[in-house]
Amino acid sequence: MVESVGRPADGLTGIGLDFVDEKVEASALAVLASVETELLASVASADPLVTEAARHLVEAGGKRFRPLLVALGAQFGDPTSEFVVPAAVVMELTHLATLYHDDVMDEALVRRGAPSANSRWTNSVAILVGDYLFARAADIAADLGPEAVRLQARTFARLVHGQIAETVGVRAGEDPVAHYLNVIGEKTGSLIATSARFGGMFGGAPEAHVEALARYGETIGVAFQLSDDLLDIASDSVQSGKTPGTDLREGVPTLPVLYALASDDDDAASVRLREILSVGPVTDDALHAEALGLLRESPALKRARETVRSYAEDAREQLTPLPSCSARQALESLCDFIADRTS
Question: 103: domain CATH number?
Answer: 1.10.600.10
pLDDT number for residue 79 = 95
Say whether pLDDT at 214 is over 90. yes
The reply to whether 6 falls in a domain is: no
Say whether pLDDT at 1 is over 50. no
The reply to whether 4 falls in a domain is: no
pLDDT number for residue 236 = 67
Amino acid sitting at position 235: S
Confidence of residue 312 (pLDDT cuts 50, 70, 90): very high
Last residue of a domain, one of 160, 182, 205: 205
Same domain, 115 and 212: no
Tell me which of 49-53, 152-156, 258-262, 314-318 is least confident. Answer: 49-53
Asked if residues 79 and 94 have their Cβ atoms less than 8 Å apart, the reply is no
CA distance between the termini of the chain:
21
pLDDT, mean of residues 8-18: 58
pLDDT number for residue 10 = 44
pLDDT number for residue 161 = 95
pLDDT number for residue 110 = 67
Can you give the residue range of the structural domain that contains 252? Answer: 207-317+332-342
Q: How distant, in Å, are the alpha carbons of 45, 53, 66, 111, 135 from that of 122? A: 19, 11, 28, 14, 20
Beta bridge partners of 123: none
Helix (H, G, I), strand (E, B) or coil at 114: strand
Same domain, 160 and 304: no
Pairwise pLDDT comparison (89 vs 21), residue with the higher score: 89
Beta bridge partners of 110: 115
pLDDT number for residue 3 = 40
Listed in order, strand segments (DSSP E) in the chain are 110-111, 114-115
pLDDT number for residue 237 = 52
Confidence of residue 197 (pLDDT cuts 50, 70, 90): very high
Give one DSSP letter per residue of 60-109, joined into a string.
H----HHHHHHHHHHTTS-TT-TTHHHHHHHHHHHHHHHHHHHHHHHT-S
pLDDT number for residue 5 = 32
pLDDT, mean of residues 118-144: 88
Cα separation, 40 vs 301, whole angstroms: 41
